[in-house]
Amino acid sequence: MTKPHVNGKRVLVVDDGMTTRLYYRDVLETAGFGVEEAVNGVEGLERALMGDFDLLIVDVNMPKMDGYEMIAQVRVDPALHEIPIITISTEAGERDADRAYAAGANLYMVKPADPALLTETAQMLTGVEMAR
Amino acid sequence: MKTVLLERFVQEARELLQTAASGLLTLEREPGDATAINEVFRAVHTLKGSSGLFDTPPLTRLVHAGEDVLQQVRTGAMTLDSNVVDLLLDGLDQVGAFIDQLDRDGTLAGDADRIAAQHAGALRARLGGAETAVVVIADTTLPVAPPEWLAGFPAAERDALLARARAGEALLAVRYTPDEGCFYTGTDPLAAIRDVPDLLAVTVAAREPWGDPVADFDPYRCNLVFTALTAASRDAVEQAMTYELDAVELRTLVAVDAIAAPTPAPDVAPEPESSALLGEAGRHIVRTQLRVIAGGYDAIRLRSTGTLIGNLLRSLRQDALRERWEIALAEAIAAEDLAPVAAFLAALEEGPAPAAEAPPAPAVPLLPAELPASATADTPSAATLPAAAPPGEPRPASKTLKVDQGKIDLLMNLIGELVVQKNALPFLARRAEEIHGSREMGREIKEQFATLDRLTQEMQGAIMQIRMLPVAEVFDRFPRLVRDIARRLDKQVDLVLKGTDTAADKTIVEALGDPLLHIVRNSLDHGIEEPATRVAAGKPPVATLRLRAWQDNDCVVIEIADDGRGIDPARIRGVAVDKGMVTREQADALSDQEAINLIYRPGFSTAAEVSDLSGRGVGMDVVLSTVQRLGGRVSVTSQLGQGTVTRLSLPLSMAVTRIMVVDIGGSLYGIPIDHVVQTTRLDPGVIKRIKHREVFVLRDEVVPLIRMTALLGGRPSAVDAGRGEAVLVCRVEGRTVGLVIDDFREGMDVILKPMTGLLAEVSGYCGTTLLGDGRVLLVLDLKELF
């Protein structure tokens, strides 16, 4: 795997699926992002509060604390009012998307997220200048 | 990247399947266990999500069906009875088989689609028709079968097949209307329709009403129409019916009730003339922000959207647009009104912005007209973009490392080599002293050896720790197994597992599976009674089977205890006599415990009829030999009517074998210390002769003597009259023998190498090891020798 550059942006991936986390890590690191992982909402919240991230990618259905709850809690912290948050879920439902937005997510994607789309989205949300 | 991801998936999937299966068993016992249902659901849900990363639609489809069933269970819409558990477990087993295929071949087998559809269909049939499901139209080149085609099938059969179609299986409906005069052309319509491959169901009906049975019936005119349902492909059907194609109509089978409005994905499909500036991803982001802020004015949400769109424009190098965006945002925040932002977003989404333009883009009609021009200069930017963070150092998320077992084994072997190689140093030191006359050098080598010795020992210990596995590895398969067997036998059994985190060497833990399985099957088959029998005997109808593991010094003890009918010593005696294993007199002389121990004899089996569970031929003798091969012991105690306790005691580790080195005919041999009872020196006077054999008496027991030089060759050394003959007293397969050797040497821990290559067939040796001076030491296998 080549890592052509490091773009200086850090992404926190919160998902209880080990394979899914590896996948995001792979896709995002290839695009130059720094990636950290958390395996459930509680850990995700802790890391989000402590770490200096540019983007959160959050699964919905997770043990201990689900994605909606985690996002809502993240938004309580003034330092995290503006951080872009993507929810990625297996459920392709409008209601789920609206719930995610209501909780404070900025974007809702459906698993499995296409690598190119995920990369482009992550770059756009974090303001990485894209190749022209 | 792909293979690593797939490997990870295989590993994760197996863990999730295990979690799901054990959770299901818990649920079957405690249907209301909310924790368990959530755990099972989440495992299956996560599996579905992960499987979507790979091109394995059948796998995903099957997992999805299981998830839907579990969702209904979770919401209380369905009760989880044993039949549903069976279906789910079968489905999970199939998923496990798919995972094995992926692991082995990197892809699913060719029939995966069909198999998955069958399982998914069976699961979905439980859901009831109301559930919407993915509809896959089997063969889009064919029209859909009209409902009247299906009217002739029995309702249950039809529903089952529709469920399969709903689950995505490609089913075809074949309507065959043979020619009226076909009986004259040698056509057999029934045979023709039966030739359709993968036939699932056939109905026959009359084309026209039969009319009056006497007046109108023409037995030479074919008035039949056949409708067949098949899982075969269109080509296969056409091939089979090739001579009757004119009379055949083919349709795709679609579950009509399943054609519900498909749920639109929230990420709306891009319109054809997608803005070149934003691209698909950007348009989705912008469109979503319109939805996000649509909920009403919310400062936090608005600022988050503000940052995000700012980032987006920065990413696209649209600095001019970004400035305008910040103005619009500031305006909106100041006025607590979403209009400027919404207008900007709507304009941005609709574009078309000139994408090819250089960064200082000319004013495009994006700026909402109603935006007051005054706001440009003095409104502070509310959307402060986060400063670029320092490059993230990806840290490992977990402190547990998963390593392939083969790598550990390799490491273990290498360390074994190192241990042996290290033992050459004292020999080298002696050479330095004696041959090269350098005492100093000898001492330095010895010092180096001491350090190296300590390090290798620590290393060996560390590797052995890595090799330790919890017995849960084997215990975990028993809940499912016990449940399945008990169900087949109509018995009720409560399995209790204790001490599952007791650890032992992986070789031991892995080898435990078969003996345990056999004992547990025996217990379920022969030990535990039917509920009615138990109640009659004053016991609770549900039997208890306990599997318990604990560590006892350097042994791990596994105990299998049931509260069944126990072993009847009288019956054992009878069977042993009937089978000619012992005489009636011998049998009567045995204590009850000794009688019970007869079950270890080869060929012993008391089950009146051979069941497919415990089977024939494999008995406790195999359990005993397996456990003994591992260097362990087995004991069975039983209380008639109260139950049976089987106890396996095994060494914690078998990587290192302790041997005693002996001198036989001038050569050195190793003898596993497990066999050695004691060492003794016999005065020639105490050796007696019985017939042609030499014996001696050891604690009231007559022990035969075996002269090892006669067995292995070599020249016996002269007996030192003052010290007597060196005799190693050993126990081999329950018998005591005295081995006459030339001399005892030291005991040592060695790593045994199996005999390989041309020597693999040589019996009498269990392996070789290297001595410190480089000589090969043969280690004797006493069981094979005698």
Q: Which residue of A has its CA nearest to B276?
A: A132
Q: Which is higher by pLDDT, B250 or B356?
A: B250
Largest CA distance in chain B: 126
Regarding whether B327 and B201 lie in a shared domain, the answer is no
Domain closes at, from B60, B91, B124: B124
Rounded to the nearest 10°, the torsion over CA B387, B388, B389, B394 is 160
**B380 has a pLDDT exceeding 50:** no
Respond yes or no on whether the N-terminal peptide bond of residue B362 is cis (omega within 30° of 0): no
Min CA distance, B70 vs chain A (Å)? 14
A83/B contact by beta carbon, under 8 A = yes
The whole-number average pLDDT for the span B746-755 is: 74
Give mean pLDDT in consecutive 10-residue pieces for chain A, a chain of 132 residues. Answer: 66 90 88 89 87 90 86 86 88 76 86 83 85 58
Amino acid code (one letter) for B517:
L
Give the integer Cα–Cα distance in Å for A105 and B757: 65
User: Element (H or E) spanning B10, and its range?
Assistant: helix B2-29
pLDDT digits (tens, 9 = 90+) for B110-164: 888 888 888 888 888 877 644 333 333 344 456 666 666 777 777 777 777 777 7
Q: Which domains does chain A have, with CATH numbers?
A: 10-113 (3.40.50.2300)
User: How are the residues of chain B apportioned to helix, strand and coil, as percentages rounded to the nearest 5?
Assistant: 45, 20, 35
Asked if B267's CB is within 8 angstroms of A109's CB, the reply is: yes
Q: Considering CB atoms only, which of A53, A106, A111 is closest to B49?
A: A111
Regarding whether B700 and B624 lie in a shared domain, the answer is no
Asked if A82's CB is within 8 angstroms of B306's CB, the reply is: yes
Determine phi and psi for B197, rounding to 5 degrees. Answer: -70, 160
Chain A residues in contact with B390 (beta carbon < 8 A) = 8, 52
Q: What is the mean pLDDT of chain B?
A: 77
B281/A contact by beta carbon, under 8 A = yes
Residue B657 near residue B563, CB atoms below 8 Å? no
pLDDT digits (tens, 9 = 90+) for B574-617: 888 888 888 888 888 888 888 888 887 776 765 444 444 444 43
The CA–CA distances, whole Å, from B716 to A43, B429, B669, B741, B782 equal 73, 31, 14, 8, 20
The CA–CA distances, whole Å, from B193 to B114, B155, B160, B189, B250 equal 22, 21, 21, 6, 13
pLDDT digits (tens, 9 = 90+) for B456-471: 878 877 887 787 888 8
Give the integer Cα–Cα distance in Å for B480 and B96: 14
Asked if A26's CB is within 8 angstroms of B394's CB, the reply is: no
A61/B contact by beta carbon, under 8 A = yes
**B534 has a pLDDT exceeding 90:** yes
Q: Does residue B539 fall inside a structural domain?
A: yes
Amino acid code (one letter) for B427:
F
- End-to-end distance of chain A based on CA atoms, in angstroms? 23
Which tokens is B734 given? 């329950």
Asked if A129's CB is within 8 angstroms of B314's CB, the reply is: yes
Q: Considering CB atoms only, which of A17, A59, A97 is closest to B266?
A: A97
Residue B712 near residue B664, CB atoms below 8 Å? yes
Regarding whether B693 and B626 lie in a shared domain, the answer is no
User: Element (H or E) spanning B556, and its range?
Assistant: strand B555-562
Helix then strand count (H, E) for chain A reads 5, 5
Among B2-6, B195-199, B236-240, B592-596, the range scoring the smallest mean pLDDT is B2-6
Domain closes at, from B469, B502, B522: B469
B11/A contact by beta carbon, under 8 A = yes
Q: Does residue B764 fall inside a structural domain?
A: yes
Question: Could you tell me the strand order of the sheet in which B224-230 lies?
Answer: B199-206, B224-230, B172-176, B248-252
Rounded to the nearest 10°, the torsion over CA B69, B70, B74, B80 is 80
Residue B522 near residue B529, CB atoms below 8 Å? no
Chain A residues in contact with B281 (beta carbon < 8 A) = 117, 120-121, 124
Helix then strand count (H, E) for chain B reads 27, 22
The whole-number average pLDDT for the span B184-210 is: 81
Q: Which is higher by pLDDT, B301 or B584?
A: B584
Q: Does residue B632 fall inside a structural domain?
A: yes
**B404 has a pLDDT exceeding 60:** yes
Please report the pLDDT score of residue A128 as a whole number: 84
> Which of B723, B728, B699 is CA-nearest to residue B711?
B728
Chain B residues in contact with A26 (beta carbon < 8 A) = 1, 4-5
Residue B556 near residue B546, CB atoms below 8 Å? no
Residue B327 sits in which domain range? 279-360
Q: Does residue B178 fall inside a structural domain?
A: yes
Q: Which is higher by pLDDT, B774 or B468?
A: B468
Domain closes at, from B301, B329, B360: B360
Angle at B565 between CA B560 and CA B571, to 5 degrees: 105
What percentage of chain B has pLDDT greater than the value 70? Answer: 83
Using 50, 70 and 90 to split pLDDT, how confident is the model at B721? low
**B259 has a pLDDT exceeding 60:** no
Residue B278 near residue B316, CB atoms below 8 Å? yes
- Measured in whole angstroms, the distance separating CA B208 from the mean position of its chain's CA atoms is 58
> Residue B174, SS3?
strand
Residue B662 near residue B671, CB atoms below 8 Å? yes
Asked if A17's CB is within 8 angstroms of B8's CB, the reply is: no
Q: Which residue of A has its CA nearest to B288?
A: A107
Asked if B281's CB is within 8 angstroms of A124's CB, the reply is: yes
**B38 has a pLDDT exceeding 70:** yes
> Which of B537, B530, B544 is CA-nearest to residue B482?
B544
Please report the pLDDT score of residue A104 as a whole number: 87
Give the integer Cα–Cα distance in Å for B780 and B772: 19
- Domain harbouring B749, CATH code: 2.40.50.180
Angle at B92 between CA B90 and CA B98, to 5 degrees: 105
Kindly give the residue spans of alpha helices, DSSP state H, lying in B52-111. 57-75, 82-105
Using 50, 70 and 90 to split pLDDT, how confident is the model at B719? low
Asked if A21's CB is within 8 angstroms of B284's CB, the reply is: no
Q: Which residue of B has its CA nearest to A44?
A: B397
Which tokens is B54 given? 């790979």
Neighbours of B574 (CB within 10 A): 15
Regarding whether B667 and B625 lie in a shared domain, the answer is no
Q: Does residue B267 fall inside a structural domain?
A: no
Q: Which of B284, B325, B329 to mutate to test the interface with A (most CBs of A within 10 A)?
A: B284
Please report the pLDDT score of residue B606 as a whole number: 52
Residue B25 near residue B31, CB atoms below 8 Å? no
Q: Which residues pair with B634 in a beta bridge?
A: B648
B12/A contact by beta carbon, under 8 A = yes
Give the integer Cα–Cα distance in Å for B580 and B561: 30
Chain B residues in contact with A83 (beta carbon < 8 A) = 304, 307, 386
Min CA distance, B476 vs chain A (Å)? 22
Chain B residues in contact with A107 (beta carbon < 8 A) = 284-285, 288
Complex ipTM value: 0.82
> Which of A56, A131, A96, A112 is CA-nearest to residue B279?
A131
Q: Which residue of B has its CA nearest to A116?
A: B281
Asked if B264's CB is within 8 angstroms of A120's CB, the reply is: no
Give the integer Cα–Cα distance in Å for B12 and B93: 15
Chain A residues in contact with B295 (beta carbon < 8 A) = 101-102
Among B208-217, B663-672, B772-781, the range scoring the smallest mean pLDDT is B208-217
pLDDT digits (tens, 9 = 90+) for B618-630: 567 778 888 877 7
Asked if A21's CB is within 8 angstroms of B397's CB, the reply is: yes
Min CA distance, B551 vs chain A (Å)? 33
Residue B779 exposed, middle or buried by CB count within 10 Å (0-12, 13-18, 19+)? buried
Determine phi and psi for B677, rounding to 5 degrees. Answer: -90, -50
Regarding whether B218 and B302 lie in a shared domain, the answer is no
Asked if A101's CB is within 8 angstroms of B315's CB, the reply is: no
**B558 has a pLDDT exceeding 90:** yes
Chain A residues in contact with B289 (beta carbon < 8 A) = 106
Asked if B312's CB is within 8 angstroms of A90's CB, the reply is: no
Q: Does residue B338 fall inside a structural domain?
A: yes
Asked if A25's CB is within 8 angstroms of B12's CB, the reply is: no
Q: Considering CB atoms only, which of A21, A83, A120 is closest to B281?
A: A120
**B20 has a pLDDT exceeding 60:** yes
pLDDT digits (tens, 9 = 90+) for B39-50: 898 889 888 888
Regarding whether B293 and B203 lie in a shared domain, the answer is no
Regarding whether B238 and B154 lie in a shared domain, the answer is yes
Please report the pLDDT score of residue B570 as a whole number: 87
Half-sphere exposure of B407 (CA within 13 A, CB side): 5
Residue B725 near residue B678, CB atoms below 8 Å? no
Regarding whether B625 and B549 lie in a shared domain, the answer is yes
Asked if A124's CB is within 8 angstroms of B282's CB, the reply is: yes
Beta-carbon contacts of residue B457 (< 8 Å; ≥ 6 apart): none
Please report the pLDDT score of residue B306 as a whole number: 85
Question: According to the 3-state scheme, what is the secondary structure of B195-217?
Answer: CCCCEEEEEEEECCCCCCCCCCC
Q: Considering CB atoms only, which of B49, B263, B280 is closest to A90?
A: B49
Regarding whether B495 and B620 lie in a shared domain, the answer is yes
Chain B residues in contact with A62 (beta carbon < 8 A) = 42
**B19 has a pLDDT exceeding 70:** yes
Residue B557 near residue B546, CB atoms below 8 Å? no
Please report the pLDDT score of residue B633 as a whole number: 84
Determine phi and psi for B688, rounding to 5 degrees. Answer: -105, 170
Chain A residues in contact with B308 (beta carbon < 8 A) = 82, 84, 106, 125
Beta-carbon contacts of residue B91 (< 8 Å; ≥ 6 apart): B62, B65, B66, B119, B120, B122, B123
> Which of B603, B608, B610, B599 is CA-nearest to residue B572?
B599
DSSP type of residue B525: I
Chain A residues in contact with B277 (beta carbon < 8 A) = none
Asked if B386's CB is within 8 angstroms of A54's CB, the reply is: yes
> Residue B435, SS3?
coil
Please report the pLDDT score of residue B684 as a whole number: 81
Sign of the Cα torsion B765, B769, B772, B773 reads positive
Q: Which residue of B has its CA nearest to A127?
A: B311
Q: Does residue B140 fall inside a structural domain?
A: no
Residue B734 exposed, middle or buried by CB count within 10 Å (0-12, 13-18, 19+)? exposed
**B415 has a pLDDT exceeding 60:** yes
B270/A contact by beta carbon, under 8 A = no
- Among all chains, which residue has been given the structure tokens 């593991």? B549
pLDDT digits (tens, 9 = 90+) for B64-87: 889 888 888 888 888 888 888 888
Regarding whether B456 and B483 lie in a shared domain, the answer is no
Asked if B289's CB is within 8 angstroms of A120's CB, the reply is: no
Please report the pLDDT score of residue B166 as a whole number: 64
Asked if A36's CB is within 8 angstroms of B395's CB, the reply is: yes
Asked if A39's CB is within 8 angstroms of B266's CB, the reply is: no
- Domain harbouring B95, CATH code: 1.20.120.160
A8/B contact by beta carbon, under 8 A = yes
Give the integer Cα–Cα distance in Å for B218 and B248: 23
Asked if A111's CB is within 8 angstroms of B52's CB, the reply is: yes
DSSP type of residue B727: E
Q: Considering CB atoms only, which of B265, B307, B390 is closest to A84?
A: B307
Chain B residues in contact with A129 (beta carbon < 8 A) = 314-315, 317
Give the integer Cα–Cα distance in Å for A89 and A81: 22
A79/B contact by beta carbon, under 8 A = no
Q: Which residue of A has its CA nearest to B267?
A: A109
Query: What part of B 386-445 touches A (C-beta under 8 Å)?
Result: 386, 388-395, 397
Number of domains in chain B: 6
Q: Does residue B372 fall inside a structural domain?
A: no
Give the integer Cα–Cα distance in Å for B104 and B121: 26
What b/e string do you get for B595-633 counting C-beta neighbours within 10 Å, with b at 16 or more?
bbbbbbeeebbbeeeebeebeeeebbbebbbbbeebbbe
Residue B128 exposed, middle or buried by CB count within 10 Å (0-12, 13-18, 19+)? exposed
Give the integer Cα–Cα distance in Å for A105 and A103: 6
Q: Which residue of A has its CA nearest to B390?
A: A8
> Which of B593, B534, B599 is CA-nearest to residue B564?
B534
Chain A residues in contact with B353 (beta carbon < 8 A) = none
Regarding whether B350 and B214 lie in a shared domain, the answer is no
Please report the pLDDT score of residue B532 as a whole number: 92
Chain A residues in contact with B11 (beta carbon < 8 A) = 18
- Domain harbouring B179, CATH code: 3.30.70
Regarding whether B431 and B356 lie in a shared domain, the answer is no
